[in-house]
A and B are shown apart, each in its own frame.
Chain A
Amino acid sequence: MALKKVKGTLERVLDKNLQDLVRGIRNHKENESKYIAECIDEIKQELKQDNLAIKANAVNKLTYLQMLGYDISWAAFNIIEVMSSTKFTFKRIGYLAASQSFHEETDVLMLTTNMIRKDMSSQNMYDSGVALNGLSCFITPDLARDLANDIMTLMTSSRPYLRKKAVLIMYKVFLQFPEALRPAFPRLKEKLEDPDPGVQSAAVNVICELARKNPKNYLSLAPLFFKLMTTSTNNWVLIKIIKLFSALTPLEPRLGKKLIEPLTNLIHSTSAMSLLYECINTVIAVLVSISSGIPNHTASIQLCVQKLRILIEDSDQNLKYLGLLAMSRILATHPKSVQGHKDLILQCLDDRDESIRLRALDLLYGMVSKKNLMEIVKKLMVHMDKAEGSHYRDELLSKTIEICSQSNYQYVTNFEWYVSILVELTRMEGTKHGKLIANQMLDVAIRVQAIRHFAVSQMAILLENSHLLANNSQRNGICEVLHAAAWICGEFSEHLSNPKATLEAMLKPKITSLPGHIQSIFVQNILKLYGKILKAAEAKEDDSLKKEVHTLLQEKLPVFIQSGDLEVQERACSILQIVKYIMKLEEKGAAVADEVENLYAGELNPVAPKAQKKVPVPEGLDLDKWINEAPDDSSDEEVPGNTFFLTTEDEHRSSYQHGDESRPTYEPTEEELEKRKAIRKTEVEHNPHYLKDDGKGHKPRHKDAFDAKDIPVAEIDLSVPLHVPGLSSSDKYMVLQQKTEKAHKGKKEKGKKKKKKGKGKTQAEESDEDEVAAVHTVSTIVDAPEGMAGSDHEDDKKSGDVYKALDINLD
Chain B
Amino acid sequence: MIQFILIVNKQGRVRIRRNYHHVEKNEQEQRDSAVINKCLTRTNKQCNYFSHEAVTIVYKRFTNLCLICGVTNENELAIQELLNVFMDCLGSYFQNVSELDIVYNMERVYMILDEIIVNGSIAFTSKERALIPLQLLDAGS
Binding between chains A and B: yes
- With A136-B118, A169-B118 given, is the CB distance from A18 to B123 under 8 Å? no
Q: B50 is contacted by which of A243, A322, A355 (Cβ under 8 Å)?
A: A355
Q: A18 is contacted by which of B1, B73, B104, B119 (Cβ under 8 Å)?
A: B104
In the assembly, what is the distance between CA of A206 and CA of B73, in Å? 13
Q: Which of B63-71, B90-98, B105-113 contacts A (4 or more CB under 8 A)?
A: B105-113
Q: B16 is contacted by which of A67, A104, A205, A206 (Cβ under 8 Å)?
A: A67
- With A137-B19, A243-B75, A355-B46 given, is the CB distance from A172 to B119 under 8 Å? yes
Does B141 lie within 8 Å of A318, measured CB to CB? no
A318: B residues at CB distance < 8 A: 47-49, 76-77, 80
A201-243 vs B, Cβ < 8 Å mask (1 yes, 0 no): 1100110010010000000000000000000000110010001
- With A126-B136, A133-B114, A317-B47 given, is the CB distance from A171 to B119 under 8 Å? yes
Does A168 lie within 8 Å of B121, measured CB to CB? yes
Determine if B81 is an interface residue (Cβ-Cβ < 8 Å): yes
In the assembly, what is the distance between CA of A88 and CA of B138, in Å? 12
Name the interface residues of B1-22: CB closer than 8 Å to any CB of A.
1, 14-20, 22
Determine if B78 is an interface residue (Cβ-Cβ < 8 Å): yes
State the Cβ distance, A598 to closest chain B Cβ, in Å: 55
Q: Which of A89-97, A488-496, A660-668, A707-715 contacts B (4 or more CB under 8 A)?
A: A89-97
Does A165 lie within 8 Å of B123, measured CB to CB? yes
In the assembly, what is the distance between CA of A60 and CA of B81, in Å? 31
State the Cβ distance, B2 to closest chain A Cβ, in Å: 11
State the Cβ distance, A72 to closest chain B Cβ, in Å: 11
In the assembly, what is the distance between CA of A126 and CA of B81, in Å? 27
A498-527 vs B, Cβ < 8 Å mask (1 yes, 0 no): 000000000000000000000000000000
In the assembly, what is the distance between CA of A331 and CA of B124, in Å? 37
Residue of A with least CB distance to B119: A136
Q: B121 is contacted by which of A100, A206, A274, A278 (Cβ under 8 Å)?
A: A206
Interface size on A, residues (CB 8 A): 55
- With A18-B106, A317-B47, A353-B45 given, is the CB distance from A239 to B75 under 8 Å? yes
Determine if B122 is an interface residue (Cβ-Cβ < 8 Å): yes
B41-53 vs A, Cβ < 8 Å mask (1 yes, 0 no): 0010111111000
A273: B residues at CB distance < 8 A: 77
Residue of B with least CB distance to A165: B118
**Interface of B, helix, strand, loop or mixed by DSSP:** mixed
Interface size on B, residues (CB 8 A): 45
Name the interface residues of A609-644: CB closer than 8 Å to any CB of B.
none
A330-366 vs B, Cβ < 8 Å mask (1 yes, 0 no): 0000000000000000000000111110000000000
Determine if A22 is an interface residue (Cβ-Cβ < 8 Å): yes
Residue of A with least CB distance to B17: A67
Determine if B128 is an interface residue (Cβ-Cβ < 8 Å): no
State the Cβ distance, B95 to closest chain A Cβ, in Å: 18
Does A352 lie within 8 Å of B46, measured CB to CB? yes
Does A212 lie within 8 Å of B73, measured CB to CB? yes
Residue of B with least CB distance to A318: B47
- With A198-B124, A209-B121, A354-B46 given, is the CB distance from A103 to B78 under 8 Å? no
Determine if A265 is an interface residue (Cβ-Cβ < 8 Å): no
Residue of A with least CB distance to B81: A274
State the Cβ distance, A741 to closest chain B Cβ, in Å: 37
Does B118 lie within 8 Å of A133, measured CB to CB? yes
A206: B residues at CB distance < 8 A: 121
Q: A22 is contacted by which of B17, B22, B104 (Cβ under 8 Å)?
A: B104
Does B110 lie within 8 Å of A103, measured CB to CB? no
State the Cβ distance, B81 to closest chain A Cβ, in Å: 7
State the Cβ distance, A652 to closest chain B Cβ, in Å: 41
In the assembly, what is the distance between CA of A277 and CA of B78, in Å? 10
Does B46 lie within 8 Å of A353, measured CB to CB? yes
* Total A-B contacts with CB atoms under 8 angstroms apart: 111
Does A96 lie within 8 Å of B118, measured CB to CB? no
State the Cβ distance, A279 to closest chain B Cβ, in Å: 11
B114: A residues at CB distance < 8 A: 133
- With A69-B29, A92-B107, A165-B118 given, is the CB distance from A236 to B78 under 8 Å? yes
A411: B residues at CB distance < 8 A: none
Does A317 lie within 8 Å of B48, measured CB to CB? yes
B141: A residues at CB distance < 8 A: 89
State the Cβ distance, B8 to closest chain A Cβ, in Å: 11
State the Cβ distance, A792 to closest chain B Cβ, in Å: 27
B25: A residues at CB distance < 8 A: 71
- With A278-B75, A318-B76 given, is the CB distance from A205 to B122 under 8 Å? yes
Q: A168 is contacted by which of B18, B80, B123, B137 (Cβ under 8 Å)?
A: B123
In the assembly, what is the distance between CA of A477 and CA of B118, in Å? 50
Residue of B with least CB distance to A164: B123
- With A137-B19, A205-B121 given, is the CB distance from A317 to B80 under 8 Å? no
B20-47 vs A, Cβ < 8 Å mask (1 yes, 0 no): 1010010001000000000000010111
State the Cβ distance, B5 to closest chain A Cβ, in Å: 13
Determine if A63 is an interface residue (Cβ-Cβ < 8 Å): yes
In the assembly, what is the distance between CA of A18 and CA of B105, in Å? 9
- With A96-B110, A133-B118 given, is the CB distance from A353 to B124 under 8 Å? no
State the Cβ distance, B71 to closest chain A Cβ, in Å: 12
Determine if A321 is an interface residue (Cβ-Cβ < 8 Å): yes
Q: B104 is contacted by which of A19, A202, A278, A320 (Cβ under 8 Å)?
A: A19
Name which of B73, B77, B122, B141 has the most chain A CB atoms within 10 A of its CB. B77
B55: A residues at CB distance < 8 A: none
State the Cβ distance, B37 to closest chain A Cβ, in Å: 14
Determine if A129 is an interface residue (Cβ-Cβ < 8 Å): yes
Determine if A77 is an interface residue (Cβ-Cβ < 8 Å): no
A63: B residues at CB distance < 8 A: 106-107
Residue of A with least CB distance to B125: A236
Does B47 lie within 8 Å of A356, measured CB to CB? yes
- With A165-B118, A236-B122, A318-B77 given, is the CB distance from A355 to B47 under 8 Å? yes
In the assembly, what is the distance between CA of A171 and CA of B122, in Å? 13
In the assembly, what is the distance between CA of A699 and CA of B108, in Å? 68
Q: B107 is contacted by which of A22, A93, A136, A205 (Cβ under 8 Å)?
A: A93
Determine if A185 is an interface residue (Cβ-Cβ < 8 Å): no
Q: A317 is contacted by which of B1, B46, B119, B124 (Cβ under 8 Å)?
A: B46
Does B122 lie within 8 Å of A353, measured CB to CB? no
State the Cβ distance, A388 to closest chain B Cβ, in Å: 12
- With A236-B78, A274-B77 given, is the CB distance from A64 to B1 under 8 Å? no
Residue of A with least CB distance to B77: A274
A267-291 vs B, Cβ < 8 Å mask (1 yes, 0 no): 0000001100110000000000000
7 A–B contacts from the bound complex (CB under 8 Å): A69-B29, A103-B22, A164-B124, A198-B124, A205-B122, A235-B78, A322-B77
Q: State the A residues within 8 Å of B (CB).
A: 18-19, 22, 60, 63-64, 67-69, 71, 88-89, 92-93, 96, 100, 103-104, 126, 129, 132-133, 136-137, 164-165, 168-169, 171-172, 198, 201-202, 205-206, 209, 212, 235-236, 239, 243, 273-274, 277-278, 317-318, 320-322, 352-356
